Structure 1
Amino acid sequence: MQNTGAQNIAVFGPGLNPAGSNQVVNAQGLNQVIQPGVDIYPAFNPSSILADAAPGSITISTFDKNFKPANVQMFDLNIQHSITNSVIAQIGYVGSKGTHLMGLFDINPAALGSAYNPCPPPDVLPGGSCGVNPQQLTRPYNTQFPKFGVIDETRSNLGSIYHSLQSSLRLQGWHGLTAQLAYTWSHSLDYETGALPYVPQDPTNERGEYGNSDFDVRHTFTGYFDYAIPTFRGPERLTHGWELNSGFSFHGGTPYTVTASSNVSGNGEFADRAVQVITNPTAGISHAIVNGSVQWFNPAAFVDPAPGTYSPTRRGQNYNPGYSAFDLSVIKTTAITERVRAQFKANIYNLFNRTNLAPVGFPSTGEVGAIGSTLGPYLGNPTIGPGEPLNAEFALKILF
């Protein structure tokens, strides 16, 4: 595992340790014939880097020696009933439980509030500066490894749980109509979501990170229909071969978490969450589009914790905008000869022109809590991507 870092470390990965403040050593191979007893690469002496490093300036990463592979247990129970020959209903419970999931923890964290510690009197230099880093003195391994600051360790001690009620109604071949409706209520909880880990605000309290998963969506309603329109009176090439297709999706938004404006806890992790002081941060907010943006939540609902404290607000307690789209296709297939047919199709996306907003992102206290984009540009698909305004495309195919 290797990534571009977390809140408290610039780069994370076992192949990048320990090589000083940049965490990477470049060794160029010698242009010579390989011989027994002769190094291919010039010698690297990490002690020289450590000698020149300032206290606490080297951040490293490691793996727990008891690291275990993650596993997921899945379970479900479904009941299906045939209402008629054409209609089938199904309802069931689907769940999963993840264990030994990966998490990132600083095993050399500075003490809570240590950023506000005064300089020890013996270390006050002429002019008032401090000869030591008071925060570094509080790290558990400072005595043994005074050059090391953050030591992020990957562990397999986290878990997740997912519950859902899933239902569907299927209609098959009823007077030319085939359709399905599906509704899901679900709830997912974990300590950390995503392939790339992020550190908790309190490295000594992993339970404090338990909250709604980043992908948690409570309500999802989807469906489709395919209707072969019966023939009607008139010229055959005009009255035969009509078909309607539709797909639609309606679901709630994913959670967001408001972070503090800075490392107000003073522990050097830079993962502080804001404190939510208003129960419903969207109360009284119209969500109207004003000058190209939408006020999604009241920024006064979130404040920084008191200096030297952690936020009691759990992660992922509020939700981004949901999504609604109804797409329709009109298809006309016309026989030209016995073996050749022409098919014209009109695809209409977002038929009811519903505005689908992008997520609010990663807001912090002091920001306005506004959204300035729709979902299409946010996903890198402007103009005709999912969530964009009403648009249509036309196609003509020759089938033979």
Structure 2
Amino acid sequence: PAIPLNQVRRRNPNFGSIRFKVSDSNSFYNSLQLNVQTRLGRGLTGSLSYTFSKSIDDGSSSLGRNEFANGQARSQDPFNLTQSRGLSDFDVRHRLSANFSYELPFGPGRKFLSEATGVARLLVEGWQLNGILSAESGLPLSPIFTFDQDRDGSIDNEQRPNLAPGVTRIPTHLSNTQLFDPTVFRIPNVGTRGNLGRNIIEGPGLVTFDPSITKSFYLNSDGTRSIQFRTEIFNAFNHPNFAIPEVGNLTVFTNVDSAGKGILNPTAGQITKTSTSSRQIQFSLRLVF
């Protein structure tokens, strides 16, 4: 009997899908890590850490998008993993974290108002300012399509498109809601796979600043017992941190037309949500003993 067209790329066209999992990926990680901690005195302490890294592999997940929403669900060609060599789905090139804590110099034993007593002392002592700054670059991702253009009989191994002739750079970060330009991609010829590398587009980064202020009301003379009132602000500057496009918007082509050209997905590259919440303020009361 004639072999169906979608079977011709199989190693043995007489068999349908055979699923199996193997541990045969390779990964490489290099990084520069810096950490500074300081105690400047007079109630001020802080630390800063920075990591410059690069992680490369030919497969980051054995469970598809259950682990990394930005990654390809499966290898484009399980018999040629070098074709999938690229940035790891979890690669973050730059990551910065800093924090500080400052005990305000008011009240007994402090620089200012050290002689305060009674209500004045109650009001001025026990104040502390804190802050955490986090910043990191975005996760990498791959534009894909999910129909069987390479005729290997499977749509599970998501395929990558070609770059259009003459295109050497993919326009990215076009706006807060459009990560990349889908018009620079072309559908590969029938029976072939795309030349676009894996994870070549960097998604949106992230920046947050979370300050807090604490007021301690001491219940004994040595300060070991107190009632703490704490105000915390998350994402204090209300900075929007945009997420990577959802899976449907990573899909560049939905199908091919009668002329063999890719039918462009109208939502390709669009960002529809944020990765962090807007500004939030939280109050808490705690007994310390």
TM-score by length of 2: 0.79
SS of the equivalent of 2:26 reads strand
The reply to whether residue 196 of structure 1 matches residue 72 of structure 2 is: no
CA distance in 1, matches of 2:220, 2:57: 61
RCO comparison, higher one (Cα < 8 Å, 6+): 2
Q: Mark the CA change 1:192 to 1:265 in structure 2 (over 3 Å): closer, same or farther.
A: same
The reply to whether residue 352 of structure 1 matches residue 237 of structure 2 is: yes
The reply to whether residue 370 of structure 1 matches residue 237 of structure 2 is: no
Residue 80 of structure 2 corresponds to: 205
SS of the equivalent of 1:154 reads coil
CA distance in 2, matches of 1:364, 1:309: 18
Q: Answer whether contact 1:177 1:226 (CA < 8 A) is retained.
A: yes
Q: Answer whether contact 1:160 1:189 (CA < 8 A) is retained.
A: yes
Residue 395 of structure 1 corresponds to: 284
CA distance in 2, matches of 1:132, 1:298: 38
Question: Which of 343, 346, 350 is the aligned partner of 2:228?
Answer: 343
CA distance in 2, matches of 1:141, 1:266: 13
Q: Answer whether contact 2:132 2:211 (CA < 8 A) is retained.
A: yes
In the alignment, residue 129 of structure 2 is paired with which amino acid?
L
CA distance in 2, matches of 1:295, 1:154: 35
Question: Which of 69, 89, 104 is the aligned partner of 1:229?
Answer: 104
CA distance in 2, matches of 1:183, 1:259: 33
In the alignment, residue 313 of structure 1 is paired with which amino acid?
L
Q: Answer whether contact 2:246 2:272 (CA < 8 A) is retained.
A: no
Residue 22 of structure 1 corresponds to: none
Q: Mark the CA change 1:137 to 1:336 in structure 2 (over 3 Å): closer, same or farther.
A: closer
Q: Deviations over 1:220-272 (max 9, x none)?
A: 11111111111132521111101011111100010111112522111123221
The reply to whether residue 313 of structure 1 matches residue 193 of structure 2 is: no
- Count the aligned residue pairs: 250
The 5 A counterparts of 1:290-309 are 294-309=177-192
Residue 179 of structure 1 corresponds to: 46
Q: Mark the CA change 1:135 to 1:264 in structure 2 (over 3 Å): closer, same or farther.
A: closer
In the alignment, residue 188 of structure 1 is paired with which amino acid?
S
- Radius of gyration: which is bigger? 1
Q: Answer whether contact 1:260 1:303 (CA < 8 A) is retained.
A: no
Residue 325 of structure 1 corresponds to: 208
CA distance in 2, matches of 1:194, 1:284: 26
Q: Answer whether contact 2:9 2:150 (CA < 8 A) is retained.
A: no
Residue 170 of structure 1 corresponds to: 37
Residue 263 of structure 1 corresponds to: 148
In the alignment, residue 371 of structure 1 is paired with which amino acid?
I
Worse overlay, 166-175 or 388-397: 166-175
Q: Answer whether contact 1:256 1:361 (CA < 8 A) is retained.
A: no
Q: Answer whether contact 1:163 1:186 (CA < 8 A) is retained.
A: yes
Worse overlay, 244-253 or 228-237: 228-237
Q: Deviations over 1:284-337 (max 9, x none)?
A: 8233xxxxxx12211212232222211111110001111100000100101245
Question: Which of 73, 95, 101 is the aligned partner of 1:220?
Answer: 95
CA distance in 2, matches of 1:310, 1:203: 13
In the alignment, residue 183 of structure 1 is paired with which amino acid?
Y
What is the CA distance between 1:157 and its match in structure 2?
A: 2.8
Specify every segment of 5 or more residues in structure 2 that has no aligned partner in the other structure, as ranges: 65-72, 107-111, 253-263
CA distance in 2, matches of 1:276, 1:332: 58
CA distance in 1, matches of 2:9, 2:194: 21
In the alignment, residue 247 of structure 1 is paired with which amino acid?
I
In the alignment, residue 273 of structure 1 is paired with which amino acid?
R
Q: Answer whether contact 2:133 2:208 (CA < 8 A) is retained.
A: yes
What is the CA distance between 1:134 and its match in structure 2?
A: 4.6
Worse overlay, 183-192 or 194-203: 194-203
What is the CA distance between 1:279 and its match in structure 2?
A: 3.9
What is the CA distance between 1:280 and its match in structure 2?
A: 3.8
Residue 159 of structure 2 corresponds to: 272
What is the CA distance between 1:190 and its match in structure 2?
A: 0.2
Q: Mark the CA change 1:280 to 1:164 in structure 2 (over 3 Å): closer, same or farther.
A: same
In the alignment, residue 159 of structure 2 is paired with which amino acid?
D
TM-score by length of 1: 0.58
Identity in percent: 31
In the alignment, residue 214 of structure 1 is paired with which amino acid?
D
CA distance in 2, matches of 1:335, 1:137: 79
